Amino acid sequence: MTGIALRPDSRESIPGPMVKDAADRPQSGRFADGVHLFPVRVFFEDTDFTGVVYHANYLRFIERARSDMLRVAGIDQRAAYEAGEGAYAVARLAIDFKRSARLDDELLVISAIGEIRAASVHIHQRVMRNGEVVAQAEVDVAFVSREGRPRRQPAEWREIFGAIAGQAITGAK
């Protein structure tokens, strides 16, 4: 049996390769009712010395959710960047903190597409715990060239955003 040793001096091993089972793959969100849902568990590293989530870590949570939303929607930012087309960059972000999250809390980041423009997209994001808003953010992401200049985002991507949001995109091509 091939596998990965549990300890360097151990003969015990875990069958490999490890990513064949869906349970061993990284966490992924999903779309439901026109929004993207992304679960997050609060780990010790996410908290400050008082045991609550450090404010900057909410930005990490919502960034992961936005990145996952693009991936789940079929938007391959990495391929676009490597092909020289560009990538999304946060152009504006405003966040409101409503409640404190704590170690081991189960949070849900809900992302909704707002206005879709030629070179940018507005996204409303809420971090929820048991149906209550913990934090909420308004985010504008701009599509930029490798040189950092704004440029039109791919028409197919605008169409995907429009389908998610239930908006008809005219002149997308």
Quote the radius of gyration of the chain (alpha carbons, Å): 19
Per-residue pLDDT averaged across 82-92, rounded? 96
**Domain limits of the chain?**
28-165
* pLDDT at residue 1 greater than cutoff 50: no
List the catalytic residues. Answer: 48
* pLDDT at residue 152 greater than cutoff 90: yes
Task: Check: CB of residue 115 under 8 Å from CB of residue 66.
Answer: no
- The CATH fold of domain 28-165: Thiol Ester Dehydrase; Chain A (3.10.129)
Residues near 19 by beta carbon (within 8 Å), at least 6 away in sequence? 25
- Helix or strand or coil: residue 49? coil
Per-residue confidence (pLDDT) for residue 15, from 0 to 100? 57
Q: What pTM did the predictor assign? A: 0.84
- Helix or strand or coil: residue 156? helix
Residue 26 pLDDT grade (very low, low, confident, very high; cuts 50, 70, 90): confident
Residue 88 pLDDT grade (very low, low, confident, very high; cuts 50, 70, 90): very high
